């Protein structure tokens, strides 16, 4: 899909900028002086437990809601003071949306194309572009209510893309999708990023979010707790146990042949109290450092232990998320 960049954007360093954003719902503080920025052409994963303020922030960016304090900017245009300019540049895919009875897919896309002021050949080209991208040509005459979850997600993404926006805000786009549909969604996100789109994506499927995004931001109780590249977040927050000497430990799984008792005793002698034998595998707490892992493996092989696999637990965004957030429900 083509990317249309207006010259007014060339001096703007942030495609999305959230400044002191605050939103109350009665006595509940949903968003608490939130600061956030997304650079042009990158995808930011927006992570937080239920009730953290993600959807409220996204609704404000989409000009559906207004903050009580602060503002959200899209390429320098205020979501509160310049909503029309923001809407021309931003496409929003909500976590829930209506499936209108007696409306076909082509009628649905045509309605939103008209809503964005597209007319004549321009509207026809926009609909064709979206159908080409989402690969929904064979569904155009099918009623919306008869679509699978995956096809509804494609149609909703097509709706968000109909006016070719520079910025996309996707709220839980992978929710409820089967494995194939999730893979196809990741491919579409990758293609949009390759075309220069800027994206803010929330999801509870953190492993897939890590594959789609350049950076992540973790919020809880409406506040930003951590942000950075995937590697930075994993390095800082996805860590195992810490010994008294300051060495970081992680779970290591060893596959072995024969009797594992001697191997288990040796590992226990190396000051690891958590050694579990499970069939032909042993799990234990070992060094997280890659060089220390190599040294331990070399030592085990040199001592003649019949090892056929040695697998340290990989760092994960899920682990980082659990370490950063408290999990308190509001």
The Cα 242–Cα 245 span in angstroms is 8
Q: What is the pLDDT of residue 5?
A: 35
229: its two tokens: 């590249």
Q: What is the pLDDT of residue 288?
A: 79
The Cα 45–Cα 206 span in angstroms is 9
Whether the CB-CB separation of 62 and 10 falls below 8 Å is answered with no
96: its two tokens: 């829930």
The Cα 158–Cα 135 span in angstroms is 10
Q: What is the pLDDT of residue 11?
A: 44
Whether the CB-CB separation of 16 and 90 falls below 8 Å is answered with no
Rounded to the nearest 5 degrees, what angle is found at the Cα of 298, between the Cα atoms of 254 and 289?
75
The mean pLDDT values, 10 residues at a time, for the chain of 330 residues are: 37 87 97 96 95 96 97 96 97 87 94 96 97 94 91 94 98 91 93 97 89 94 94 77 62 88 87 79 86 91 92 82 70
Q: Output the CATH code of domain 240-314.
A: 3.30.70.980
The Cα 272–Cα 266 span in angstroms is 10
Q: What is the pLDDT of residue 4?
A: 35
Report field, pTM of the whole predicted structure over 0.75 = yes
Q: What is the pLDDT of residue 239?
A: 62
- Dihedral angle at the C-alpha atoms of 224, 230, 233, 234, nearest 10 degrees? 150
The Cα 160–Cα 185 span in angstroms is 14
The Cα 252–Cα 307 span in angstroms is 13
Query: Domain coordinates of the chain in residue numbers?
Result: 12-96+164-236, 240-314
Could you tell me which residues come within 8 angstroms of residue 297 by beta carbon, excluding any fewer than 6 positions away? 307, 310
Rounded to the nearest 5 degrees, what angle is found at the Cα of 78, between the Cα atoms of 77 and 83?
95
Q: Output the CATH code of domain 12-96+164-236.
A: 3.40.50.300
310: its two tokens: 């040695």
């Amino acid at each position: 899909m083509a990317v249309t960049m207006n010259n007014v954007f060339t001096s703007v360093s942030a495609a999305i900028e959230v400044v002191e954003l605050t939103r109350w719902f009665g006595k509940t503080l949903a968003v608490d002086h939130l600061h956030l920025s997304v650079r042009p052409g990158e995808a930011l994963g927006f992570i937080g437990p239920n009730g953290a303020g993600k959807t409220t922030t996204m609704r404000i960016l989409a000009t559906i809601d207004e903050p009580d304090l602060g503002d959200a900017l899209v390429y320098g245009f205020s979501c509160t003071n310049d909503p029309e300019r923001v809407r021309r540049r931003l496409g929003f895919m909500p976590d829930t949306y209506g499936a209108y009875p007696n409306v076909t897919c082509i009628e649905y896309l045509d309605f939103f194309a008209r809503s964005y002021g597209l007319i004549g050949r321009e509207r026809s080209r926009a609909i064709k572009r979206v159908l080409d991208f989402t690969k929904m040509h064979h569904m155009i005459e099918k009623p919306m209510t008869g679509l699978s979850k995956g096809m509804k997600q494609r149609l909703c993404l097509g709706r968000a893309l109909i006016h070719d926006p520079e910025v996309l805000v996707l709220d839980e786009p992978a929710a409820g999708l089967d494995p194939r549909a999730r893979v196809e969604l990741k491919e579409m996100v990758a293609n949009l990023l390759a075309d220069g789109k800027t994206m803010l994506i929330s999801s509870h499927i953190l492993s897939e979010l890590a594959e789609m995004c350049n950076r992540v931001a973790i919020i809880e109780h409406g506040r930003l707790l951590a942000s950075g590249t995937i590697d930075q977040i994993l390095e800082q927050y996805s860590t195992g146990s810490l010994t008294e000497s300051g060495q970081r430990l992680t779970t290591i799984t060893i596959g072995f042949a024969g009797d594992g008792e001697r191997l288990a005793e040796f590992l226990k002698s190396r000051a690891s109290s958590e050694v579990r034998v499970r069939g032909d595998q042993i799990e234990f707490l070992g060094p997280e450092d890659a060089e220390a892992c190599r040294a331990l493996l070399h030592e085990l092989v040199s001592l003649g232990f019949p090892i056929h696999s040695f697998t340290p637990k990989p760092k994960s965004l899920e682990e980082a998320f659990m370490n950063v957030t408290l999990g308190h429900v509001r």
